[in-house]
Structure 1
């Protein structure tokens, strides 16, 4: 197995990084793509063998997992060598877009935003069920309506809290998004800045909780401004790592966070807990997209099929905290209360209008920065 690119951040941070820069206008996408074209060749010597594929994926814990527990088995089973190109969701998308006339990447591990953008740009293949027979074993939710790509794993965004601090104060665990507005949490709530995907999901979800929709965020902006002005918000985090510190050091007792982030911390011994709000957690996913016109579309789809296998899906849930889409895969017992494990629990997640979010993200950012962050008391 070869590697291309420098080490990057874990998948959950990659999604955040992508969302931070993902102002989905065509002009800005082309700027990113132009930067890639201007750079030296990104994939060097990747086509030395006939049977191989270039996989554009993530760094950190995801890279470690893929290198040690997925790729060796795939290479042994199929004889196909994998070239692992490391980047964020956005930087890898830019590579795919920049090289569309002569693709270098066979398979791209996208997120909701870059999957949608790539479909609009006609960058991805429709999958062949003969090459990806495990498609029949995934939840209907995981299948693209047009057959282009497939969700490989899912996660969500809900509430994270410090049970020790709650117990000391005599507080019950949070159960609702509305708990963030409870006066007893004055000076105890942390929220993300808008550049982090989790905050974009929070904003979208609050439009629904307060009776609106993603097409009009005014009610959510007003309510979040009230949350800030109430004195409940003690900190704005600009990154997941910063939020980890705020929560683990006890500066804040409750926040919203990605399920994957929270579960990874729990696995590493963090005392923080994660709960699914009764109104539902937001759903987001990572998606395998085979690149149209790439040198090895068959190998790419074989890899997708391998990643959808029951045992690989279970291992992915255990090691990097992303819930399986294979209906027969097992969820780790330690995560059984918070990780979706069947169609019933999947229905507790809310699918946001990603198309509208993607279209309006630049405006959302401007409004949030003007109304929420630059007008802090």
Structure 2
């Protein structure tokens, strides 16, 4: 499969591109049975990941290096990941929740503490990512990528640069040509940012205002997408989309009429993290796999494919200048200074945000 095909793929269509069944992808050679390793674990691993979020040869390379066969299944939202594991781990060894869900899942007893001694490649991580508020001391998670929400847009169809959340949340100028991300907390938080508030500690009396604004906007919204907004933009179904910088960077490689802007009000930073869920059947293999993903060369191969900003300093150093100096992938400091991580503020607040967006979508 060509790199171009992969880069243009949505998080959904990766499975089709690999010709693999939606239940998961296995890299075991035909007829070969995974053998137990010295630690007594079967030489396999179940990996639950976002789509288009791994290097083209990463899983096969890990198999060659370790003998461990990786079966990868995909989820589309953090809400889906959380729901899948809430009733108990169905057999996953490594998962990739975003920062807020690392806090939520660790507080709910859904994550195993990491043994840092088994992950020597921690040394490759940029020190600024080693002690985040959402997981102090990285007890339960290690950073895989970080990412920033903004507006992807088709230059020829938009007048000027759409540098405010207004165009997505509070205007009919691009009616029927807008797509919003479906993740509830992100929508509520960015609406608060547009209204001049932090993405955290949103006052209760602001929530009805956000809900009414989004309900008023709903008729102008073409779709609430599950993180495949870059495809809607590439296909011409929409001209403006709320999407992550890495996804739009992928689309910009395929279509030079596409660009990305972080609105002037600021935005939401996310960090997708590598975690071992409670009850993982193969914790030794899980530690080996996380350590492999944090290797400098393996990390660079992943970044070359997915085009998300990497927190792996050793991997970044191996990347070409058109990645290291790309302002979509690594926005300048003045832009980043207006952006914040969303904090997990309790299950009740999370449910409240879900209810608000459910009502908006039903309106």
| TM-score normalised over the length of structure 1 | 0.69
Shift of 1:268: 3.5
2:21 equivalent in structure 1: none
Shift of 1:354: 2.9
**Deviation string, structure 1 residues 121-166 (Cα, Å, up to 9, x no partner):** 3232322332212223323335431521212112121111110123
Alignment partner of 2:59 out of 68, 71, 80: 71
Unaligned 5+ runs, structure 1: 1-8, 15-44
1:161 equivalent in structure 2: 153
Residues 15-164 of structure 1 mapped to structure 2, 5 A cutoff: 48-50=35-37, 52-58=43-49, 60-62=51-53, 65=54, 68-77=56-65, 79-88=66-75, 96=85, 98-99=87-88, 104-112=91-99, 114-139=101-126, 140-141=128-129, 143=131, 144-146=135-137, 147-164=139-156
2:185 equivalent in structure 1: 200
Preserved contact between residue 323 and residue 341 of structure 1 (Cα < 8 Å): no
1:211/1:59 CA distance change after superposition, 3 Å: closer
User: How many residue pairs were aligned?
Assistant: 321
| Aligned counterparts of 1:105 and 1:129: Cα–Cα separation in 2 | 20
| Aligned counterparts of 1:265 and 1:126: Cα–Cα separation in 2 | 37
| Aligned counterparts of 2:166 and 2:345: Cα–Cα separation in 1 | 26
Shift of 1:302: 2.2
1:367 equivalent in structure 2: 356
| Aligned counterparts of 1:96 and 1:374: Cα–Cα separation in 2 | 27
SS in 2 for 1:135: helix
| Aligned counterparts of 1:367 and 1:293: Cα–Cα separation in 2 | 33
**Deviation string, structure 1 residues 278-332 (Cα, Å, up to 9, x no partner):** 3333112221112445453333222212111222222222212322111233366
1:216 equivalent in structure 2: 203
Unaligned 5+ runs, structure 2: 1-8, 15-31
| Aligned counterparts of 1:176 and 1:289: Cα–Cα separation in 2 | 34
Q: CA RMSD in A?
A: 3.9
| Aligned counterparts of 2:103 and 2:262: Cα–Cα separation in 1 | 26
Shift of 1:267: 3.2
Alignment partner of 2:327 out of 333, 337, 349: 337
1:269/1:145 CA distance change after superposition, 3 Å: same
1:81/1:216 CA distance change after superposition, 3 Å: same
**Deviation string, structure 1 residues 87-118 (Cα, Å, up to 9, x no partner):** 42666656655555xx8433223334543333
| Aligned counterparts of 2:305 and 2:299: Cα–Cα separation in 1 | 10
Shift of 1:56: 2.1
Preserved contact between residue 188 and residue 210 of structure 2 (Cα < 8 Å): no
Residues 156-305 of structure 1 mapped to structure 2, 5 A cutoff: 156-166=148-158, 171-180=159-168, 185=173, 187=175, 190-192=178-180, 196-197=182-183, 200-212=185-197, 213-216=200-203, 218-219=205-206, 222=209, 225-226=212-213, 229=216, 234-240=220-226, 243=229, 247-248=233-234, 252-269=238-255, 271-292=257-278, 294-305=280-291
| Aligned counterparts of 1:267 and 1:224: Cα–Cα separation in 2 | 36
Shift of 1:224: 6.5
SS in 2 for 1:329: helix
| TM-score normalised over the length of structure 2 | 0.71
